[in-house]
A and B are shown apart, each in its own frame.
Chain A
């Protein structure tokens, strides 16, 4: 028995189509890991005495941790399995509401555009992706240009 590709090919997406991912709770362990991996030791994320003096009054998880986790959550839909070739652009990424420790987030996506690219192997899809917390508040907006395989290229 061989691996069966679950992802959607370029032809199978429709403009206007929507999806939601599963949810993940953001922990201090996630946040500390990300600081270490990225090397971004900004005191907002690492120094509680400094962070007490900011608007949130406490350390926050790195905004890019939340963003990367949302990319992982999109995998849980299986729609991108083996068919996502490149995350070409992330545009208009707006950090509108801070995600705090122990918040639970998910991503909500919608197909805005499909561009054929005149390439037999792949096309470009523009997704609107919002990251939403447990209160239903939009925390991060984004427009993601993904290169997705075309079915005729698949063997």
Chain B
């Protein structure tokens, strides 16, 4: 077996006050198109510029669940969870402002706490996550729980 799995932080490594901030990602109409075409998550607010122009946002907007998916990608790219995150347990998401094509989002996360589970080799980690755009406006807030591998079992 070759390769280095470059593991991220283990269950024990997260301490009160730990935070992270991701790099930005500019979201484009291409992202909207390939997401809606592959997920079937169509909505004229996402797909029909003529319709969207006349609606409250004034233009096509980025699907809410695409913002969420891209934020998950940004979190993954911090490499803090690589090889140590074993799955999603629970999330709560609220959306506050729309994202328009050409906007750039960043994700900020804060470690909240940890819990044991019945499996000795893993536990649950809780995070509070915010997504904001280039103007500092809050796009999304989320409480997230994941299972994480323990280093010392």
Look across to chain B and name the residue whose beta carbon is closest to the beta carbon of A60: B87
Compute how far the CA of A91 lies from the CA of B141 in the bound complex, rounded to whole angstroms: 11
> Nearest Cβ in chain B — how far from A110, in angstroms?
19
- B92 adjacent to chain A (CB < 8 Å): yes
| Docked-complex contact A43 and B83, CB < 8 angstroms | yes
Main SS of chain A's interface residues? mixed
Against A, the Cβ 8 Å flags (1 = close, 0 = not) of B23-51 are: 00100000100110011111111000001
| Docked-complex contact A68 and B65, CB < 8 angstroms | yes
Look across to chain B and name the residue whose beta carbon is closest to the beta carbon of A155: B54
**List of A residues within 8 angstroms of B77 by Cβ:** 39, 41
- A49 adjacent to chain B (CB < 8 Å): yes
Count residues on chain B whose CB falls below 8 Å from chain A CBs.
46
| Docked-complex contact B94 and A44, CB < 8 angstroms | no
**List of B residues within 8 angstroms of A44 by Cβ:** 85-87
- A134 adjacent to chain B (CB < 8 Å): no
Selected from A39, A47, A50, A89, the residue in CB contact (under 8 A) with B94 is A89
Count residues on chain A whose CB falls below 8 Å from chain B CBs.
44
- Among the stretches A10-18, A80-88, A123-131, the one at the interface with B is A80-88
| Docked-complex contact B70 and A38, CB < 8 angstroms | yes
> Nearest Cβ in chain A — how far from B12, in angstroms?
19
| Docked-complex contact B76 and A42, CB < 8 angstroms | yes
Look across to chain B and name the residue whose beta carbon is closest to the beta carbon of A122: B56
**List of A residues within 8 angstroms of B69 by Cβ:** 34, 37-38, 40, 64, 68
Which residues of B pack against A, CB within 8 Å?
A: 1, 3, 5, 25, 31, 34-35, 38-45, 51, 55-56, 63-66, 68-70, 72-77, 81-83, 85-95, 98
Contact sample, A vs B, 16 pairs, CB 8 Å cutoff: A37-B31, A37-B35, A37-B70, A40-B73, A42-B81, A43-B5, A44-B86, A54-B86, A62-B72, A75-B43, A76-B40, A80-B43, A87-B63, A87-B64, A90-B68, A90-B91
Which residues of A pack against B, CB within 8 Å?
A: 24, 30, 33-34, 37-44, 47, 49-50, 54-55, 62-64, 67-69, 71-73, 75-76, 80, 82, 84-95, 98, 121
